[in-house]
Amino acid sequence: MRIAAVQMVSSTRPAHNLERARDLIAQAAAQGAELVGLPENFAFMGHSDTDKLSLAEPPGHGPWQQALAQAAREHRLWLIGGSLPLRTEQAQRVTNTTLVFDPQGRCRARYDKIHLFRYEEHGPEGHKLYDEAVVLRAGDQPVAVDLQSRQGVALRLGLSICYDLRFPELYRALMRPPCDLIAVPSAFTHTTGQAHWEVLLRARAIENQCYVMAPAQGGRHENGRRTFGHTLIIDPWGEVLARVEEGEGVACADLDPARIAQVRQRLPALAHRRL
């Protein structure tokens, strides 16, 4: 199965972001992708975290969700919808949610981000505090979904979002039964990305002996934030197969089940687990 990870530099304008997402999905489809992943917060990067409260959609309804379903249906592919703010029963809390759509445009999985990012940065641009818990309600359930390639090959996709990457216990939970692919749509800060992004992604691929795709935000945004980018697709041995460093782009690679089987047979680490 050919997979594609989309990199964006999303703005404060939802309509513009949807237009760019549609175009990049089309580019991925033209390269033969059967599964496409968008980055975290692909539809909106506000000036403040509280900006997303008024834009959050109810689960199952709204223009963002409709656009994702339509794109999956139009290009006949599986679509990992980055992440969207979805409403909760609390007016001042939303979830940061990944939705997965099948080639018929049906929503087949929902994952609410479990680990909420908090980071203080002191640098040339002054003091910055990121604290997602101000407006986000954390999820509490690992989520994986079974899908099929156009050739009928069954694959298992595990879901995570950005800061989840730092918590290997989530990925261990997703490996019962083992996933063939893990998605990590992200909007890493430039500072933390420079220090930890690639090494963490490669570690998750190596220790779980599966493919990892990490669609990312990558550049300077209208709200002044700078994200790290470096969208990656990594194979089960930890080798980087495709990369987009900065700015918009599409990283494509082939997911080969035989490669997964080869790695797991040569070094049966998953079978050696004791905890």
Q: pLDDT of 153-186, one tens digit each?
A: 999 999 999 999 999 999 999 999 999 999 999 9
Q: Residue 63: helix, strand or coil by DSSP?
A: helix
Q: What is the pLDDT of residue 49?
A: 85
User: Sign of the CA dihedral 216, 220, 222, 225?
Assistant: positive
198 C-beta neighbours (distance < 10 Å), count: 17
The CB density around residue 30, as the number of other CB atoms within 10 Å, is 10
Domain count, the chain: 1
Q: Give the domain range for residue 112.
A: 2-272
Q: Specify the pLDDT at position 113.
A: 98
Are 171 and 177 within 8 A, CB to CB?
no
Kindly report, residue by residue over 192-222, the tens digit of the pLDDT: 999 999 999 999 999 999 999 999 999 999 9
Quickly count: other Cβ atoms within 10 Å of residue 140's Cβ. Answer: 7
Rounded to the nearest integer, the mean pLDDT of the chain is 96
What is the per-residue pLDDT across 9-65, written as a single tens digit (0 to 9) for each?
999 999 999 999 999 999 999 999 999 999 999 999 998 889 999 999 999 999 999
Which member of 52, 57, 132, 162 is catalytic?
A: 162
Active site residue 210: no
pLDDT bucket at 125, cuts 50 / 70 / 90 = low
> How much is the pLDDT for 126?
63
**DSSP sequence for 70-93:** HHHHHHTSEEE---EEEE-SSTT-
- Known active-site residue 113: yes
For the cut 70, the answer to whether the pLDDT of residue 123 exceeds it is no
CB 213 within 8 A of CB 236: no
Output the CA torsion 166→171→172→176 (10° steps).
Answer: 170
pLDDT (tens digit per residue) in 87-122: 999 999 999 999 999 999 999 999 999 999 988 876
- 177 cis-preceded (ω within 30 degrees of 0): yes
Q: Is the pLDDT of residue 129 over 90?
A: no
3-state secondary structure of 242: strand
Nearest to 170 by CA among 124, 115, 106: 115
Q: Of the residues 34, 52, 57, 113, which is catalytic?
A: 113
40 annotated active-site: yes
Give the containing element (helix H, strand E) for 47.
Answer: none
Higher pLDDT, 223 or 125: 223
pTM, full prediction? 0.95
pLDDT at residue 31, as a whole number: 98
Among 220, 170, 225, CA closest to 200: 170
In this structure, what CATH number is given to the domain that contains residue 14? 3.60.110.10
Q: Are 31 and 116 in contact (CB under 8 A)?
A: no
Average pLDDT rounded to a whole number, residues 70-85: 98
156 vs 174: CA distance, rounded Å: 10
Q: How far is 81 from 86, CA to CA, in rounded Å?
A: 13
